Structures are given as structure tokens and as C-alpha cells.
Amino acid sequence: MPVIPPSSCYGLLPIMMSSCLLPDHRKLFRCLPAVCRSVQYAAKSSSSDYCQPGLRLVYGPPAYNLAIMQKRWGRLLCMAVLVSSGWGATPLQAEEPEPLTLRQLAQELRARNPQFVQAEQARAQIEARIPQALAWDQPMIGMEQTPLPRSPLNINHSQGMSYRLTQTMSFPGKKRLAADILEAEAGSAGAQIDGLYVDLLAQLKRQYYQLLALQQLADINRNTIERLGQIKQVAKVRYANNAAAFVEYMNAQVAHGSAENNIYQTQRLIEQTQQGLNALIGRDPAQPLAIMAETWSGLELPPLAELTSRARELHPNLRDSAHRLQAAQKSLDLAKKAYYPDMQLILTKHSNNPPYGLAGNEYGVEVDLILPTWFFEREKAGVSEANAGVISAQAGVELAWRQVQLEIANAYSRLQQVIKERELLQQRRLPEAQAAYRLALNSYANNAGDFNGLLLAQQNLRDTELSAAWVDSALQQAKAALDAAIGQAMESP
């Protein structure tokens, strides 16, 4: 093994660290004895070589000093090698998740929420019944042995036999009407899926804006702690100058601790809201989630009449009720078709070689009519049932429209109210609270103000900032509620 000169001991640390950076830790332990032997040789060669800047020797017998240096350098190099190999290092923190915008959350909601899978499969079931309704009835094939002497089981002595093919055919138009009913039901199921998306998207927006407001609330709490820290320092200085009682400093300390506790409560609410968002978009609730605030381009509130007119074209509930009315009308037409008879066609081939022969040129044909019930009792009841269904569907269309109008009016009124509250906060209340706090702090610092007045001004400022944060969230949520009321899912980017 090459011997390291004593003069190079000052550069021994980086050399040994680089030479022992091996991927296999078993090789690392094989490397450590070589390091220790090199250190021992360097220490024995010259004790003067260790007198480098920053290294303090312990005076005493040379053997004692040599043992001390060997032990120190050995420990130092072993620790350096272990640290450089990654042993004892703290694990890296998990990477922060990529922030998601509202549009990205909506895409994940549509793609991963199991409610949409369930609704889509329900619509697929209805659509799969349409070709079944249009298909012909199942044919029947039969064989007749007649006459049979002495016993109906004496087939081998049959004196005649025939093969028979029977096909039932509905009156023209009945199957098409049945398929139209299923198509209308499939359209209703599709409208219900769109309505589900609108409802879940409104819930997603509400939780999204709540999470943004809670994050802003956390920032406000941190600002409150900074202000209370300033108040505490001012109270401490005044107490040191015999200008204030010690109880003022203690009250400031208590208020500061209470503000720190608010941070923990806010963080718990943030985590709960994140878990709710994860569950809504089909993720594991414990999965880390970060969101990004989208740019707010301002709010242009159209007239109420324009929104109502837009809802007639967009709202899924109106389309659902229209499809239900269409299905009810088709059901009425089908019920009226029940008065018309269906037909049954029977084709027969007679055999000259019973019991199982096919020879013979004699054929037969039979046409049967399947007539309505006696005195049309079942048909009349079916038409009455279908008429009731049409009347109910018409009432459902009217009820759905009135409900949409009511939701639009309520959401519109709520949005107007929040806009006024926001203007009041931004233009008057927040600037006044900020000015009142600055004035109270300056007055108290200059021995001209009351401590309780300063705490009250700080509390009023915090409450006003919280109101401003929540009113911004309420404005966004009110806009989302109005979009849901008119049936609008996501605005165009």
C-alpha cells in the first residue's frame, strides 16, 4: 500500500473522502483500515507536521501527544468518510406537489370521480337496449308427429310428421316507438350526467375558493403575530422606562400566544379542506395537494334576463325534463298502437317418411292475428296510464323551469350583495382599520395612547382583514353558484 507522506496530511481528508466514495458500503469498511494505517504512519513520522494552523496540540510526553493525534485524526476521517457516503445524513424531504389550477382540478374531477363512471354505465345500459327493442321477435321451430297409434310416445310408428317455423311480427311502428322511448331515456340519462357534473363542479369551486381563503387566513395570522410582536416590544420598552405597567407586557404576550394558536387551527382547516378536495376528484384523501390561484380578470354581471335566457339552452335539468316529456309522448303513441293487432306467420313442411324424414313436396302456411283483449280493457288502461305520464312530464318541465328561475334569482341577488360588501370593505373599512391601528401604535409608542385601545385597534384590523379575505372567497363562490344555476360548467379559457 502506498504510504502517504506526513506533509500531505493536511490534504488527507479530501483524498480519503474521494477514494472511499464507493457504491457498495462493504467496500467502504474495507477502506477504513487503510485510512487509519495511513494516519498512524503520518503521526509517527513527524509530530511537527501536525502543527498546522487551526490545530492545537496537547503538551505532554511525545508518546501521549502522538496517541492523541492518532485518535483525533482517525475519528475525524472515519466520520468524514461516513458522512460523504450518505450514512447519518438526514433524508431529503418529499418534493412538493405541483400546484393545480381550478381548470386542472375540474379535468381530474371529470376523469376520476367514480360517480361519473356509474352514471355513464347506466346510460350505456339504456343505449344497449335500443337494438334489442328494434330486433325481430325470436323465431320458433317445431316438429309435429301425427297421428300416433295407441300412445303419444309411440313416435316410431308415426303415420305422419311435419316441420314448423313460427315467426311473430309486431304491428308496423310499434318497435320503432319502443326504440324512440329508449333513445329519449338515454338522452335523459345524458342530461343527468351533465347535471351531475355541474353540481360537483360547483362543489369543487366552493372547496377550492375556501382553501384559497384559508391560505390567505394563514397569511393574515402571520401578519397578526408580527404586529403583536411589535406591540410586545413597545410594551417592553415602555415598561423598562417605567412608562407602562408590567401587566400590559403580559397581555401582549398572551395575545401573541393566542395568535400562534390560531395558526394551528387554520392549518387543521386547510388540511381538512385539502382532504375533501382530494376525495372529490377521486384521489386518496391523504395525498398532498397544492392549488394555484387563477388570475381574476374582474366580474361583469350580465342582466338577469340574459342569464335566464341562457339557462334555457344550457341547464341540464331543463334538457332532462324535455327528454322525459318526449319519452312520455312516445309512450302514449305506443299505447295507442296497442289497439292494432300483431301477426304470427307459420310455415309448415310435411314429410312422407315419418318419423324423421325430410322427403316430401307438401307445404303449408298459416297467418294468425293477435287481437287486442276483450272489450279493449287492457288497451284503454294503457292509454290512460300514458296520458297521466304525459301530464306529469309536462308539469315536470314547468316545475324544472320555475326551479331554475328561482335558483338564478337567488344566486344573482346573493352575488349583488357580496359585490356591495366587497366594495365597502375595500374602499372604507379596511383603510380605516389600517389607519386606526397605525395611529394607535404611534400614540402608544409615544406614551400618548392607551394599551387597551391599541389591542382593540389591532383586533379590529385583524377582523377586517379576515372579512376582506372571506368576502373575496364569498364573491368567487357566489359567481360559481350563479354559473351552476344557469347550467354553465366551465367558462372558456
Q: Please indicate, yes or no, whether residues 78 and 106 belong to a single structural domain of this protein.
A: no
Same domain, 139 and 239: yes
Give whole-number Cα distances, 142 to 135, 166, 367, in Å: 22, 8, 16
Q: What tens digit of pLDDT does each residue of 51-110 get?
A: 343 334 344 444 444 455 555 545 554 454 444 444 444 444 456 788 999 999 999 999
Are residues 316 and 345 located together in one domain of the fold?
Answer: yes
- 186 plus 64 within the same structural domain: no
492 assigned to some structural domain: no
**What backbone torsions phi and psi does residue 423 show, to the nearest 5 degrees?**
-60, -40
> Is residue 19 domain-shared with residue 65, that is, in the same domain?
yes
Residues 52 and 110 placed together within one structural domain of the fold: no
What is the domain extent for residue 178?
102-293+300-485
In angstroms, the CA 368 to CA 370 distance is 7
What is residue 359's predicted lDDT score, i.e. its pLDDT?
Answer: 78
Q: What is the pLDDT of residue 269?
A: 94
Residues 80, 106 share a domain: no
Per residue in 126-155, pLDDT (tens digit) is 999 999 999 999 999 998 887 888 887 877
Residue type, 178: A
Q: How many domains does the chain have?
A: 2
| Spatial contact of 271 and 250, defined as CB atoms under 8 Å apart | no
Return the amino acid letter for 40.
Answer: Q
Residue that finishes a domain, picked among 29, 54, 84: 84
**Cβ-count burial 88-125 (b if 16+ within 10 Å, e if not):** eeeeeeeeeeeebebeebbebbbeebeebeebeeebee
Cβ-contact 430, 439 below 8 angstroms: no
Q: Which of 389, 349, 363 is nearest to 143 (CA)?
A: 349
CA-closest candidate to residue 357, choices 166, 155, 148: 155
Question: Same domain, yes or no, for 55 and 119?
Answer: no
How many CA atoms within 13 Å lie on the side-chain side of 106? 18
- Long-range (24+ apart) CB contacts under 8 A made by 185-191 are 185/126, 185/323, 185/327, 186/123, 186/126, 186/127, 186/130, 187/319, 187/323, 187/326, 188/320, 188/323, 188/324, 188/327, 189/119, 189/122, 189/123, 189/126, 190/123, 191/316, 191/317, 191/319, 191/320, 191/323
Cell of 184: 329519449
User: Does residue 387 share a domain with residue 283?
Assistant: yes
> Which contacts qualify for 222-228: CB closer than 8 Å, 24 or more apart?
222/263, 223/465, 224/259, 224/262, 224/458, 224/462, 225/256, 225/259, 225/260, 225/263, 227/437, 227/458, 227/461, 228/252, 228/255, 228/256, 228/259, 228/458
Asked if residue 336 and residue 215 are part of one domain, the reply reads yes
User: Whole-prediction pTM value?
Assistant: 0.71
Radius of gyration of the chain from its Cα atoms, rounded to whole angstroms: 44
What cell does 178 get? 319502443
Residue 1 falls inside a structural domain: no
Q: Could you tell me if residue 239 is inside a domain?
A: yes
Distance of alpha carbon 341 from alpha carbon 370, whole angstroms: 5
Residues 468 and 365 in one domain: yes
The per-residue pLDDT string of the chain (493 residues; one tens digit each, 9 = 90 and over) reads 444 444 444 444 443 434 444 344 444 444 444 444 444 444 444 444 433 433 343 444 444 444 555 555 455 544 544 444 444 444 444 567 889 999 999 999 999 999 999 999 999 999 999 999 999 999 999 988 878 888 878 777 777 888 999 999 999 999 999 999 999 999 999 999 999 999 999 999 999 999 999 999 999 999 989 988 888 888 888 778 877 678 887 888 888 888 888 889 999 999 999 999 999 999 999 999 999 887 776 778 899 999 999 999 999 999 999 999 999 999 999 999 999 999 999 999 988 878 777 777 889 999 999 999 888 999 999 999 999 999 999 999 999 999 999 999 999 999 999 999 999 998 999 999 999 989 998 888 887 778 888 889 989 999 999 999 999 999 999 999 999 999 998 764 3
Residue 80's nearest CA partner among 32, 38, 34 is 32
What secondary structure does DSSP assign to 142-183, as a single string?
EEEE---SS-TT-GGG-S-EEEEEEEEEPPTTHHHHHHHHHH
**CATH number for position 222:** 1.20.1600.10
- Is residue 67 domain-shared with residue 127, that is, in the same domain? no
Q: Which of 42, 20, 40, 44 is nearest to 32 (CA)?
A: 20
Q: Is residue 402 one of the residues assigned to a domain? A: yes
In a domain, 59, yes or no: yes
Asked if residue 93 is part of any domain, the answer here is no
State which of 35, 57, 84 marks the end of a domain: 84
Indicate whether 344 belongs to any domain: yes
Residue 491 is assigned to a structural domain of this protein: no
